A and B are shown apart, each in its own frame.
Chain A
């Protein structure tokens, strides 16, 4: 994989679960091209530049719809990020006295909106503990189900440990029990193939700026072709460029859920990020193999070489590794990695307090390395040497 040359020579970036870096050159070029050659607001004016902007946004919708197995590009709703999308889905579909089932491995982008609704007496929540690693089962779903259960809302892949929930089984269960299934794909999009139709998923929230290699400020909610949008209220109303003589929000997609000017520069880049993944030999298989290789190498070598090293992620995961080193605080480790070795990582609770409670690392948290397709074994080896130096106090 070609490295982008703007990094300092020895900088190693292992914080791709926060946002991926670097981005493919085509992504950067698309953002710059939009800002220097196109620049207009799509769907508002009728001039050439606005049409060009409209084409960029449509192509992005089309790329993303195909990527996730959705027939209509209109079912791709752009937002600022996965959190934005999850707030739309959660607050849009849940009503008074609804019950929701979720897992113990959720990010605050799911738990906080749910808790807010629960605190206001609107909904009730069941948090399934799952097995030791937090993976839930249909048996637990059966036990948690109530007459007023409306939805199962979970993340596909944990941003703390990288565990992957059994989406196909859960989707099947939801379909059988007539429940809405909302999947947070912030960490899994661009790594694990996701098909809304075959896995019976009603909606997925994705971040454009992580595994899809788009710019920050992009994300979306993809609604399955079979979902009845009358079941989901918009989160905001405003100008859409359509029905401009009316003071009511349009009731068709995507306008119903997209008010205000889109982040067209970001969407231009996101479109190229998806194309970048599609152009890889064997597509997501290449991505998975690369990340599995890096993760396995890191965990196996660290376990042997670094006293007190403990991984909370399986060695076969897709590039999200949480670990601790006995006797050292996670803050100290990440600070020394950054200051002394120019290695970027994330410490703490990763906005997922429940997950850390589940794996037993609350409240200190862990150090997290999260790899991208641009990271190399050589970089992992450098990090291993750095951790050994930090551990041995030299």
Chain B
């Protein structure tokens, strides 16, 4: 949710989706962004010291 908050503030389009099972055993959701926005998203999250597990290509 914190990540969504930061991405929204920086106009990075994103969507919360259920966590794909092959990615993680976590319940709940993860944040999906477009390929062209990944680098920016990562940068904004790192700036706010928001830790994330990993970035995965959903193709």
Q: Using Cβ atoms and an 8 Å threshold, which residues of chain A touch B4?
A: 55, 58
B56 at the interface (CB under 8 A from A): no
Within A230-246, the residues touching B (CB, 8 Å) are 241-246
Pick the contact of A46: B2, B19, B49, B51 (CB < 8 A): B19
Q: Using Cβ atoms and an 8 Å threshold, which residues of chain B touch A252?
A: 51
Task: For the complex formed, measure the closest distance between the CB of B46 and the CB atoms of chain A, giving whole angstroms.
Answer: 14
B25 at the interface (CB under 8 A from A): yes
Pick the contact of B18: A47, A57, A242 (CB < 8 A): A47
Where the two chains meet, the residues of B that have a C-beta atom closer than 8 Å to any C-beta of A are: 1-2, 4-5, 16-19, 25-29, 49, 51
Nearest neighbor of B3 in chain A, beta-carbon distance: A58
B27:A43 contact, CB within 8 angstroms:
yes
Task: For the complex formed, measure the closest distance between the CB of B15 and the CB atoms of chain A, giving whole angstroms.
Answer: 10
B5:A50 contact, CB within 8 angstroms:
no
Nearest neighbor of A240 in chain B, beta-carbon distance: B27
How big is chain A's contact interface, by range? 20 to 34
Q: Using Cβ atoms and an 8 Å threshold, which residues of chain B touch A42?
A: 28
CA distance A43 to B25 in the complex (A): 13
B26:A242 contact, CB within 8 angstroms:
yes
B29:A54 contact, CB within 8 angstroms:
yes
A62 at the interface (CB under 8 A from B): yes
A51 at the interface (CB under 8 A from B): yes
Pick the contact of A44: B1, B17, B27 (CB < 8 A): B27
CA distance A50 to B18 in the complex (A): 10
Q: Using Cβ atoms and an 8 Å threshold, which residues of chain B touch A58?
A: 1-2, 4-5
Pick the contact of B26: A50, A54, A241 (CB < 8 A): A241
Within A48-75, the residues touching B (CB, 8 Å) are 50-51, 54-55, 57-58, 62, 72-74
A50:B2 contact, CB within 8 angstroms:
no
Q: Using Cβ atoms and an 8 Å threshold, which residues of chain B touch A62?
A: 2, 5
Q: Using Cβ atoms and an 8 Å threshold, which residues of chain B touch A57?
A: 1
A45 at the interface (CB under 8 A from B): yes
B28:A243 contact, CB within 8 angstroms:
no
B interface footprint on A72-85 (CB within 8 Å = 1, 0 otherwise): 11100000000000
Other A-B contacts than A241-B28, A243-B26, 13 sampled, CB-CB below 8 A, are A45-B27, A45-B28, A46-B28, A50-B28, A51-B16, A51-B29, A54-B28, A55-B4, A57-B1, A58-B2, A244-B26, A244-B27, A252-B51
Within A196-243, the residues touching B (CB, 8 Å) are 241-243
Task: For the complex formed, measure the closest distance between the CB of A223 and the CB atoms of chain B, giving whole angstroms.
Answer: 15
CA distance A243 to B27 in the complex (A): 8
CA distance A392 to B28 in the complex (A): 64
